[in-house]
Each structure stands twice: as structure tokens, then as C-alpha cells.
Homo-oligomer: A and B are copies of this chain.
Amino acid sequence: MAATRPTATLEDVARLAGVSRSTASRAIAGGSISRAAYDRVAAAVRQLGYVPNQAARALARRTGLRLVVATSGPSPEILDDPYLDRVVTAVARVCAEHDVGVAAAWLPLRPGRQLTRLVEDPGLGGVILINPTGWLVDVLATLLPGRVASIGVGNPAVPSFDVDNAAGTAALVQHLYAAGRRRMAMVTGPGWLPCAARPVREYGRLMRAAGLPVRLVVGDFSADRGRVAAGEVLRRWPDTDAVLGASDATALGVIAGLRDCGVRVPDDVGVTGFDDVPFAALAAPALTTARHPVTEIATAAAHAVLGRLPGPPEVLFPSPMVLRASA
């Protein structure tokens, strides 16, 4: 740090290219500029190994250089979640390429101090919303125009990235049906989570279309809840021959709960999960599930807010089924 020559500044680039600072700035940040000037600046940049000082840029532009991954939920504890860990890390890797950083924050379900503090923060470069409710997206869309992306529900002004869990659910249901299962129950995600509703709707739609019974038990994505829910399913509908878990953790819990009741998986009851976490393949029996491409989704969202890409307002990532032993 001491011995290295000071990193080149825009001034140096301009001088070497024989243009003014502003021209160099335009060439780099992308303003209207002549082809000739652009080329000379580009050459100077390359020769000097120039890399813009993000702090200076943020200061002049009055726009922060920190992406915040904001998770909306009932309490801060929802931040303790492997799913979120993967999102934050994926975003951090994209950030590394853009010389910005990421921070993680919690947002309550209703507006409050946290929200105002977030949007008033001058260091804020953009926000990636995790599973936001509709009003939250709308509020942020107007407060931080062009600097918001959503992993979950979107909005005409906020690009959204999510897994096509309706299709994933459909694939799972069809597989179970093909395997002869006719009395399928579902252990859902938490009720306050918008994105958790989609699989439930799809499941309901398919059951009704096939003339099969709808059997819903509310879960919360956790294994503990899944374990308990398995008992509830069995008590209310003893002839159930399949259980769809809203997450792999739920499904693993369901399997444990079923085993507690002396039910065999997959012989008596088939069980499916959702996510395809690493341990899904190691479980006994190995879990049949649908993949949740978390990293790809988070990466796309990060690129969207960092690059201000227009792009389609909503992109759904496919959720391929992974066939294993549990169903």
C-alpha cells in the first residue's frame, strides 16, 4: 500500500488522452462523445489500468454504493435462514465485480422506522427485496426509482425474479399421480409470505381438476413444523398416500413425523420437497424434490439493480423436478 504507485485518477487519464476531465468522464460513464475522443480515452484507461474511485463517484452522483438485501417478515429472526445466506453470498459475488458491497437488513411487515432509515440512507445504492408484500414494492418503487429489484412479487416499475414454483409443483403432482397416488396432502409455507401461496393455488387447481380431495396443513418451511404437520395430516386424513412439503426442510420433517407414526416412506406415503438443498440427496430415503435455483435468481437480481437493466418486468426461473427415492 505504501510502495505501490498511487492508483491512476481520472485526471491522469484525461491528461494522457489529451482531453479534459469531463470528456474522459463522459467516455467512461457513457455520455455523448465523439468516436475519436472515446478511443483515445479508452486507450489511456487501459494503459494506466484506471479504475474509477467509487467513493468519489458516489459522492458526486449523490448515490450510494451499497446494495441492501432487505428481507421482509414478521421478525428479524427470519434473517437466520440458509436460503437468505445463499442470496446474500450470490449478491456479494456480483458486487465484487462492480466495486460495491452488500449489506443485509430486515424490514417489518408494516411500514416503520426501519423503512425510512433504509431509504434515507445516502449510502444506499440499491435494494433487493426478498419476498416483499405488494405495498412494500410499490413504496420502494416510487422512493428509489430504478434502483430496486424483487425476488418475489414485482410491480410494473420493479423487475422481479423468482422461481416458477407453480410449474415445479405441477411436475411433482403429476409425478405422484402417475405413480398411482390419489390422496395428496400439502404442508404449506407461512401464510404471510406472498410467494408461498402460488404452489398452494396450483395444487388446489390440479386437485379440483382431477376430482381429488384438497388437504392443506399450514407449515412454516421448518422441519420441526413439518414433523408435527405429518401427524396432523395422518389424524385428519388417515388414507393419505402422498405429502407435498413446501420446502425440503418441511419434507424431511414430514418424513421424520411419518416414521414416528409407523408409516413407511415411500411405500405407504410418498413425500416430496422443494428446493433441492444439498442434503436432500443424502437423506434416507433420498428426497424427490423440485430445484430452486436460488443462486441464479439472486445473481440476476443483483445484475438488474447494479446495471439498471430494463429487461422484462418479470422473469420466472424453471424449477426442474429431481426424482429420487422418497416418492
Contacts and interface: CB of A to CB of B under 8 A. Distances in A.
Interface of A: 1, 4, 7, 51, 53-56, 58-59, 64-69, 79-80, 82, 84-86, 88-89, 92-93, 95-96, 99-105, 116, 119-123, 143-145, 223, 249, 252-253, 256, 259, 277-279, 281-284, 295
18 contacts: A1-B143, A1-B144, A4-B119, A7-B120, A51-B121, A55-B56, A65-B65, A66-B101, A82-B82, A85-B89, A88-B88, A89-B89, A92-B103, A92-B104, A100-B101, A100-B123, A259-B284, A279-B282
Given A122-B55, A256-B282, A283-B282, A101 B105 contact: no
Nearest to A97: B103
Contacts of A283: 279, 282-284
- A-B residue pairs, 10 tightest by C-beta: A101-B101, A85-B85, A96-B103, A92-B104, A55-B58, A66-B101, A279-B279, A85-B89, A88-B89, A55-B59
A281 B79 CA distance: 21
A295 B82 CA distance: 12
A175 B284 CA distance: 26
Contacts of A4: 116, 119-120
B99 A123 contact: yes
